[in-house]
Amino acid sequence: MRTGIVISYNAVVRCGLIKDCNEQKIRFYNENLNWVFKRFDVVNFSVVYLVAGLRAVNVTAIINSRGEPVSLAISIS
């Protein structure tokens, strides 16, 4: 499993990009119909190699001790 950050996500087509610790940008498709990712969510995922390049699969959000997804987004009030 790898860890990365969602850098973009299109909720309409359920597709996005993850940036991992190697600075690679890897495309993913959200297979979980009950979950919508947000930009800057921290996720775990596996990688498969396709003819078109790398693809992230089994993408899951990292959940903190309060049951909330971990995010690097900063709330400014």
- Kindly list the domain boundaries of the chain, sorted by start residue: 2-61
d(CA 58, CA 36): 14
Residues 6+ apart with CB under 8 A from 6: 16, 17, 18, 37, 38, 39, 40, 41, 43
2-61: CATH topology is OB fold (Dihydrolipoamide Acetyltransferase, E2P) (2.40.50)
Which tens digits make up the pLDDT trace of 35-68? 899 999 999 999 999 998 999 999 999 999 999 9
8-42 confidence digits (pLDDT tens): 999 999 999 999 999 999 999 998 888 899 999 99
